[in-house]
Amino acid sequence: MRSRCFTYLVSVQFDNRMLWTILLGIPVGAMFGLSGAAQNLSIALKGKGSEFAPYFASFMVITQILSMVVPFVSAKVIEGFGYAGSFGMMLVFVALMLVFSFFMPRITLAETRQPGSVASGNRYGFRSAFGRPGSKWILLSLLAAGVFLQFQNLFTLLFTFSVTQDKLLIALLNMLYTCCSLLGLWMYRKIKIDEMRWLWIGMTLMAVGFLIVLFRDPAALILSNVMTSIGMFYFTTVWNAQQFRFIQHAGPSQQASFLIWRECTLVVTRCVLLGLTLPLKDMGGTGFALLIGVTVVCLLSIPAFQQRALREAAVGVAEGSATEPNTHAKSG
């Protein structure tokens, strides 16, 4: 799928740019959806509760480093071989990914059918995904996260380009933000506090970072990106770990159902926020301030939703464990 996208970019041209963009967006969206689903399902089925947070912390740092290195490498390749050379380099990496995929452990959704279990036609339905104790709070957390994630993805880059158009300064700023993520990792490993407190710290940093943008000063925009880089590290590490820990006791089909609906919920809320940004003319005015206000409310609600979800899930697991001995005694 990814190789077809790069081939399409190099070889196909339309006078209608909207049609060209749509035809490109369909395979790109499918590519990210399928790769994300495979990655998340592998983590859910093979990972353990204690491994989730270190994994997502490492994933976040590696992503930040790559986002800093890849533009430099791509620029050099384009300078020497043109855009076709850049796409050729991407195809090489895609080929390496395909080779690597053949050596990955095989996963399966097959599970023993239990009496009273969900029928195969409904096992990926909404009820299967959010039928566990605490699911309603997880769903609210996903809705709130989709709003702020789209805001962060959309405006962080705009904040950087609002500061300067100089390519070297932009690269240095990206390096600064990557170093901030590394600082967040160092603090996360060094300071031993409760996981939920890290989530509150991350959400608070991001909320303050978004509010600072209202000052419309270049220094404020840089400080905003610094604070949101650190806050995003804590959010990605803790929030994802808690979400995957929430489904670790579920069966394979329930985990798959949850992950499918999780991504669908995030995509829908992202689209809603994108729709709200369409009337905006610039990063200012009442509309932009209201958008920041909605985003901040969503940010600060996520830790509360997560806390309620994990509390109800823990009670549900404890009650399930307590009823198992009685069930075995009756069957005996």
Q: Which domains does the chain have, with CATH numbers?
A: 51-80+124-321 (1.20.1250)
CA distance 35 to 124: 19
Q: In 102-134, where does DSSP find H-type helix?
A: 126-129
Instruction: In whole angstroms, give the CA distance from residue 115 to residue 119.
Output: 10
Is 160:173 a contact under the CB 8 Å cutoff?
A: yes
Other CB atoms within a 10 A radius of the CB of residue 63 amount to: 13
Nearest Cα to 220, choosing from 235, 206, 232, 210? 210
Chain-centre distance for alpha carbon 105: 23
> Environment class of residue 19 by beta-carbon count within 10 Å: exposed (0-12), middle (13-18) or buried (19+)?
exposed
The pTM of this model reads: 0.77
Q: How far apart are CA 39 and CA 58, in angstroms?
A: 15
Residue 216, by phi and psi: left (phi above 0), alpha (psi -120 to 50) or beta? left
Neighbours of 289 (CB within 10 A): 12
pLDDT tens, the chain, 332 aa long: 555 555 555 566 667 777 777 777 777 777 777 777 777 777 777 777 777 888 888 888 888 788 777 777 877 787 788 777 877 888 888 888 888 878 777 766 665 444 444 555 566 677 777 888 888 999 999 999 988 888 888 877 777 777 777 777 777 887 888 888 888 888 988 888 888 999 999 999 999 998 988 887 888 888 988 899 899 999 989 998 888 888 887 777 788 888 888 888 888 888 888 888 888 777 777 888 888 899 999 999 999 999 998 888 877 666 665 555 554 445 44
User: Tell me, what's the pLDDT at 9?
Assistant: 57
HSE value, Cβ hemisphere, 13 Å, CA-based, for 5: 15
State which amino acid sits at residue 238: V
CB 274 within 8 A of CB 174: no
pLDDT at 2: 52
CA 211 centroid distance within chain: 22
